[in-house]
Structure 1
Amino acid sequence: MPAVPLRHDDPGLQPERTLLAWRRTLLTLIGVCILFLRWIPPFGWMALLPVILSLMAGLLIQIGLNARYRKSARGMAQERIPPPLREVAVLGCTVMVLSLVGIVAVVSG
Structure 2
Amino acid sequence: MTTPSPRRPQPHADPGLQPERTTQSWLRTSLTMTVVSLLFVRWINVFEGLSIVIFVICIGLAIAAIAMQVRRYRLGSVSIRAERGRPTPWAVLFLSSSVCLIAALGIASVIKISLE
Q: Could you tell me the TM-score, scaled by structure 2's length?
A: 0.74
Match of 2:82 in 1: 78
Q: Structure 1 residues 51, 76: CA separation in 2 closer, same or farther (over 3 Å shift)? A: same
Cα distance between partner residues in 1 of 2:107 and 2:60: 21
Q: Which runs of 5+ in 1 are unaligned?
A: none
Alignment of 1:53 with 2:57, yes or no, is yes
Shift of 1:8: 2.0
Secondary structure of 1:77's aligned partner: helix
Q: Deviations over 1:56-90 (max 9, x none)?
A: 11121122122111100111122222223232222
Identity of aligned residues (%): 33
RMSD of equivalent CA atoms: 2.2
Cα distance between partner residues in 1 of 2:111 and 2:14: 50
Alignment of 1:5-84 (within 5 A): 7-10=11-14, 12-84=16-88
Alignment of 1:106 with 2:110, yes or no, is yes
Q: Deviation above 3 Å: which 4+ runs of structure 1? A: none
Cα distance between partner residues in 2 of 1:43 and 1:6: 48
Q: Could you tell me the TM-score, scaled by structure 1's length?
A: 0.78
Q: Deviations over 1:20-40 (max 9, x none)?
A: 221122111111111111111
Larger radius of gyration: 2
